[in-house]
Chains A and B, each alone.
Chain A
């Protein structure tokens, strides 16, 4: 922890690291959805792991250490394993190259353009409150846990119920004959 703080304390190193991790995240993100070499879902899943790990690096740069750990544990550990397990279970053949529909492409570009418009419009209005003193927040487990169990107790309990519901739903769905 001390070493990371010392490393992040300087100004030049985190900036370089940000560009490295951001480029890695975006590159692997592109390769998840459009890999020119392979249409296999397994490759997409592998690049999703890389995206998530480099995003955990971004979280560390944002001093959200606990969330970086959770990100790797939950996503790279559980979610991707689930994906790979389902790919194995379904025994998917390599997806043949289908022609991208013109309508789909236009719809996608229009929606991305809309989001871009909102993004650039709202970017000028962004003035972080902690700008004057510089960010000083530490995403420590202690502070996060304290907030989680005082202010956010009700959502925490509701999420536990949600997990139970999801678990029961998955067990029901994966029964051989759905009644």
Chain B
């Protein structure tokens, strides 16, 4: 069977689900962050395949911006994690309960 748009979208969907499950189920802040990266990459893959199969470059430009924003987001997020670890000596979501009802 010839590989088409649906195949790439299926891979993207599976990768996004993996990232979502990782965010919800894992307890380590760093691993949650990596799962977020997985989700962003899944979106990138979908955009690149849309761009390829619609013969428009705009999707790739959008992916370019997403990569930039993801890099900035990782930098800020990891700085936050480091600051948090300094205050609480923990990188576990279950130890961060000050906003719990």
**A residues neighboring B (CB under 8 Å):** 11, 14-15, 18-19, 22, 25-26, 29-30, 32-34, 41, 44-45, 48, 51-52, 55, 58-59, 62-64, 66-67, 70-71, 74-75, 78-79, 82-83, 86-87, 89-90, 92, 95, 98, 100, 104-105, 107-108, 111-112, 115-116, 119, 123, 126, 128-131, 135-137, 139, 143-144, 147-148, 151-152, 155, 159, 162-163, 166-167, 169-170, 173-174, 178
Contacts and interface: CB of A to CB of B under 8 A. Distances in A.
A136 B54 CA distance: 9
A105 B80 contact: no
A35 to B, nearest CB: 10
A66 to B, nearest CB: 8
Contact of B34 (A48, A59, A126, A170): A48
Interface of B: 2-11, 13-22, 24-28, 30-31, 33-35, 37-38, 41, 44-45, 48-49, 51-58, 60-61, 63-65, 67-76, 78-83, 85, 91-92, 94
A30 B76 CA distance: 26
A74 B21 CA distance: 25
Nearest to B17: A112
Contact of B24 (A108, A136, A152, A159): A108
Contacts of B9: 119, 123, 126
A3 B20 CA distance: 38
Contacts of B22: 32-34
Nearest to B15: A29
Contact of B61 (A15, A123, A147): A147
Contact of A29 (B18, B49, B64, B65): B18
A62 B49 contact: yes
A41 B32 CA distance: 10
A151 to B, nearest CB: 8
Contact of B38 (A51, A62, A78, A173): A51
A116 B13 CA distance: 8
Nearest to A87: B30
B71 A79 contact: yes
Given A173-B79, A173-B80, A135 B18 contact: no
